[in-house]
A = this chain, B = another copy of it.
Amino acid sequence: MGDVNRQWRLARRPRGEAAKDDFEFVEAAVPRTLRPGEILIRNRYLSLDPYMRWRMDDAKSYAPPVAIDDPMVGSTIAEVVRSDDSAFRPGQMVLAQGGWQDYAVASSSSLRIVDEAVEPTAFLNVLGSPGFTAYAGLMKIGMPKQGQTVVVGAATGPVGSMVGQLAKRAGCRAVAIAGGPEKCRLAVDHFGFDAAVDHRGGDLAGDLAKACPDGVDVYFENIGGRVLDAVLPLLNDFARIPVCGVVSQYDGDESDGTRLASVMRDTLVKRLSWRGFIVTDFAAHRGEFLEMITPLVKTGAIVSLEDVVDGLEHAPEAFIGLLKGRNRGKLVIHIA
């Protein structure tokens, strides 16, 4: 065990876009004393996710903000270093809320032992919160039925790619919206979407209409703005819209022209259902999700894609790139 716990702390709250100087890299001591029920873990992989941007702000949200000078929060795959709890042996791999750092002290109740027959990063992706977010939003709110059409934005991202795969398994037409021809190819060739529409392609509304000849029954909303504008006229009667995603996507002026009044009119005439959710609202369903998806991941029936960046020191720049849409797959930092 090293003597030093490298940590990325929140140095200040971002003004607009997150910047490198909003973070501070410090060397803290490795925690030595553990209280009963506490376990010392060493993080191996850190998940970087858009929600973290929101946690940097001091605004009302569904989770409290990270305090200034506190380590940034995040899910990790970690190794048990020291434990008095017989359920956790040193060397065992666990899923933890370990944060942007080498070491963390976790309560045993917050840890989940992971199946070592599965690639560890899968627990930060298809078997982790992104996969479960897709599952909860699509299956519990979207309620896709055989033969219906499901549309999702950011379709090659960890949530969108899982939405597409689950939609296909439910017998639906799965339509991807992604940025650029490379991501569109990836959506169809790697994740099995029936069609992909490039939102930078110039005629988003027209292209999407062509890709959805029978309209849209479920729009998994995780992007907002122009994409939402393009989907609205295609929604069928009784369409469901699980609303997921990063709040800051709704902060800009992207949605020019689409006014609330027209959405309310459509909501009434088409009897649309909109429902905002975060994954913890569905915690009771996590067991059923893991039971269904784990074997499919092992056999390769459900695939994923990870961008693994080596070195904790690169976390802020990788995170900033993520917010700019620069990653292809799920962004994970390989810590050590």
Interface residues of A (CB under 8 A from B): 60-62, 221, 224-225, 228, 237, 243-245, 247, 250-252, 254-255, 258-278, 281
- Bound complex: CA A41 to CA B248 (Å): 60
A133 to chain B, nearest CB (A): 12
Contacts of A224 in B (CB 8 A): 261, 264
Given A250-B262, A259-B255, A277-B269 contact (CB < 8 Å): no
Tell me the nearest residue of chain B to A246, going by C-beta: B268
The one of B221, B237, B269, B278 in contact with A264, judged by C-beta atoms closer than 8 angstroms, is B221
- Bound complex: CA A268 to CA B228 (Å): 14
Q: Chain A interface mostly helix, strand, loop or mixed?
A: mixed
Contacts of A275 in B (CB 8 A): 267, 271-274
Is A250 in contact with B265, judged by CB distance below 8 angstroms? yes
Is B276 in contact with A269, judged by CB distance below 8 angstroms? yes
Scoring A228, A255, A269, A270 by chain B CB atoms within 10 A of each residue's CB, the highest score goes to A269
A217 to chain B, nearest CB (A): 15
Is B264 in contact with A271, judged by CB distance below 8 angstroms? no
Scoring A60, A250, A272 by chain B CB atoms within 10 A of each residue's CB, the highest score goes to A250
Is B278 in contact with A265, judged by CB distance below 8 angstroms? no
Is A274 in contact with B267, judged by CB distance below 8 angstroms? yes
The one of B61, B245, B247, B260 in contact with A258, judged by C-beta atoms closer than 8 angstroms, is B260
Is B60 in contact with A269, judged by CB distance below 8 angstroms? yes
Contacts of A237 in B (CB 8 A): 62
Tell me the nearest residue of chain B to A268, going by C-beta: B276
A178 to chain B, nearest CB (A): 20
Report 7 cross-chain contacts, Cβ distance below 8 Å, ordered by A residue.
A243-B264, A252-B261, A255-B261, A259-B260, A267-B275, A268-B278, A272-B276
Tell me the nearest residue of chain B to A273, going by C-beta: B275
Is B273 in contact with A273, judged by CB distance below 8 angstroms? yes
A277 to chain B, nearest CB (A): 6
Tell me the nearest residue of chain B to A245, going by C-beta: B268
A274 to chain B, nearest CB (A): 4
Tell me the nearest residue of chain B to A238, going by C-beta: B281
- Bound complex: CA A121 to CA B224 (Å): 47
Is B243 in contact with A250, judged by CB distance below 8 angstroms? no
Is B274 in contact with A281, judged by CB distance below 8 angstroms? no
Contacts of A265 in B (CB 8 A): 247, 250-251
